[in-house]
Amino acid sequence: MLSGSAPDLGWEVVTSPAPIAVALDAPDLETAARWAGLVTPHVSTVKIGLELYLRYGPEVVASIRGASRVQIFLDLKLHDIPATVAAAARSVARLRPQLLTVHAAGGPAMIRAAVEAAPGTPIAAVTVLTSLSNEDLDRIGVTGTTADWVLRLATLAVEAGASALVCSPREVAAVRAEVGPEITLITPGVRPAGTDAHDQARVATPEEALAAGADLLVIGRAITSAPDPGAAAAAIAVSLRRHVPAVRLSG
């Protein structure tokens, strides 16, 4: 949680990193590690995606985590038959990521297999990719809107044991109402006001996503493409302070 100003009442006001996962979509491990070092003082989490993991393997997790002990979000979006996903989840669980993603569209048996294979690793089920629009789903053959499909997959995933869900900021309020307060909601497609949406179809600002009920905001290029990624992360963290209550520890 992030602190605001407070009178001196014998408490120590603690400013914790912002609930942001910085997407380290870097061309090489050295760049990813440098970005992680710059943003870690300001954000709670860094996200390692499929490209970086496939290029460097398990080594990338240790290199990025380093001495900072930042939380690692391993975004591999596993999607295969249950036995294969179980084996994959079991393999990466030894890296101790704080989150591991699977595709909710893989079905309840697949999600349950991942949960059971990696009991110490929170499994986050990806509902509908934020790059997809209603028209895209229609062309794929999915009936209904993206919002309908997100809610259907969210319910299915939670019933199968997922402890976190990935959905766009546009659906997060409806998903929160559907699954309750105990499920962690992760929102990609988060863009500070005035920045390019790039390949995302369903976006919102960090403040809007947090106000709608998101627990963790995934932000990539708005931070990593900035001249100073650390300063960009710090600026977004400051903008979120009014949305997150202060945390106080007894002095």
Active site residues: 77
The pairing of strands 71-78 and 43-49 is parallel
Q: And the tokens for 10?
A: 């014998």
What's the first-to-final CA gap in the chain, in angstroms? 18
Radius of gyration of the chain (CA): 18
Q: And the tokens for 192?
A: 């500070």
Cα–Cα distance, 246 to 103 (Å, whole number) = 34
Q: And the tokens for 159?
A: 């019933």
Q: Biggest alpha carbon distance in the chain?
A: 61
CB 89 within 8 A of CB 123: yes
Cα–Cα distance, 158 to 18 (Å, whole number) = 26
Backbone φ, ψ for residue 12 (5° rounding): -95, 120
